[in-house]
């Protein structure tokens, strides 16, 4: 979009300049009508038509074709104008520089070299066409040759600046492409990391929920049932205390045993969350104790195990 806008702006500027030159030529034709003046007017009108055709090509996206059409038209017009109006040679030389300068964003560097060479050849051609007429004027020879050959000679460093500018812009474009690729890669990695974090969070939530349900189940099936049995046993002991003291004492003893079992179960659950033995002795003391409670027979070797962070020891 930006390339189309800039190319259209260039063509509009060329059309405006062409219109101004046509107006000046018409004014000259009224003051002094000659064949040369009408030939110049026809040349400017033809260039205007070519610029309109290039404008239509640019609107359809044919940027390189449009800039090529403009360039050929300008080079041809500069040569013809130098022959028709030799004393306006500086204008023709400046006009011949426009294609090489304006083609930088639209052509490759190898083709831009052809534009620069064509521009240099055009400027020297303009000087060669204007030279016979300018040398016929009464003036110092050095001034005559400076007024002709000097202008295209100056275009050589200008074209060199154009070439270096194109090289710099090409390097900047390459750097921008690499930065864009790196940004896309970073965004892709960031999206992958975000997805991994989401999955990890889901696994953590699921593990926490499963552990909570396990603790609830253990409390319900273990300590809670035993405490209910203690309550029932004590109620029975209370009911038989008056009629059968011996049975009541026996029931109270059973209730005490059930209570000790419930305390042991609660202690086991508490130690499963974060065993005091683990905090006190580390993995060397906690792992054998965990193996003793395992329903599967296990033997533990803890030689050389030191202390680690609490979260690591708890996970193990």
pTM of the full predicted structure?
Answer: 0.53
Residues 142-152 as b or e (16 or more Cβ within 10 Å = b): eebeebbbebb
Is residue 44 within 8 Å of 18, Cβ to Cβ? yes
Q: What is the pLDDT of residue 150?
A: 67
Q: Are 101 and 162 in contact (CB under 8 A)?
A: yes
Contact 122, 79 (CB under 8 A): yes
Helices (H), 242-306: 245-273, 276-281, 283-292
Q: For residue 196, what pLDDT band results from cuts at 50, 70 and 90?
A: very high
The pLDDT tens digits for 63-104 are: 888 888 888 888 898 888 888 888 778 888 888 888 888 888
pLDDT at 128 over 70: yes
Give the chain's mean pLDDT: 81
70 touches 51 (CB < 8 A) = yes
CB 25 within 8 A of CB 44: yes
Question: Is residue 239 predicted with pLDDT exceeding 60?
Answer: yes
Residue carrying structure tokens 């204008």: 91
Which tokens hold the place of 87? 């004393």
| DSSP-based three-state secondary structure for 297 | coil
Residue 267 has pLDDT above 80, yes or no: no
In tens, the pLDDT along 151-164 reads 677 777 777 777 77
- The pLDDT of residue 109 is 75
More confident of the two residues 292 and 139: 292
Structural tokens at position 315 = 């996970």
């Amino acid at each position: 979009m930006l390339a189309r806008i800039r190319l259209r702006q260039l063509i509009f500027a060329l059309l405006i300049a062409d219109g101004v030159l046509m107006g000046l030529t018409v004014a000259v034709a009224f003051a002094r009508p000659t064949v040369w003046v009408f030939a110049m007017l026809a040349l400017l009108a033809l260039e205007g038509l070519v610029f309109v055709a290039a404008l239509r090509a640019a609107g359809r996206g044919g940027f390189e074709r449009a800039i090529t059409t403009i360039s050929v038209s300008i080079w041809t017009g500069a040569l013809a104008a130098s022959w028709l109006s030799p004393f306006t040679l500086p204008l023709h030389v400046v006009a011949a520089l426009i294609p090489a300068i304006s083609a930088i964003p639209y052509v490759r560097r190898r083709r831009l070299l052809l534009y620069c060479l064509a521009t240099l050849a055009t400027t020297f051609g303009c000087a060669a066409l204007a030279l016979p007429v300018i040398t016929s004027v009464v003036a110092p020879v050095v001034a005559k040759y400076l007024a002709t050959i000097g202008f295209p000679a100056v275009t050589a460093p200008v074209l060199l600046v154009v070439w270096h500018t194109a090289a710099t812009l090409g390097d900047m474009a390459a750097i921008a492409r690499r930065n864009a690729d790196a940004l896309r890669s970073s965004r892709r990695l960031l999206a992958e990391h975000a997805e991994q974090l989401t999955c990890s969070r889901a696994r953590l939530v699921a593990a926490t929920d499963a552990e909570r349900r396990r603790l609830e189940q253990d409390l319900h099936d273990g300590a809670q049932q035993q405490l209910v049995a203690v309550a029932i046993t004590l109620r029975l002991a209370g009911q038989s205390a008056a009629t059968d003291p011996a049975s009541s004492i026996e029931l109270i003893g059973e209730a005490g045993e059930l209570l000790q079992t419930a305390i042991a179960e609660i202690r086991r659950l508490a130690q499963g969350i974060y065993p005091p033995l683990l905090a006190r002795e580390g993995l060397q003391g906690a792992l054998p104790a965990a193996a003793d409670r395992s329903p599967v027979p296990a033997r533990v070797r803890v030689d050389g195990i030191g202390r680690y962070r609490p979260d690591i020891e708890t996970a193990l």
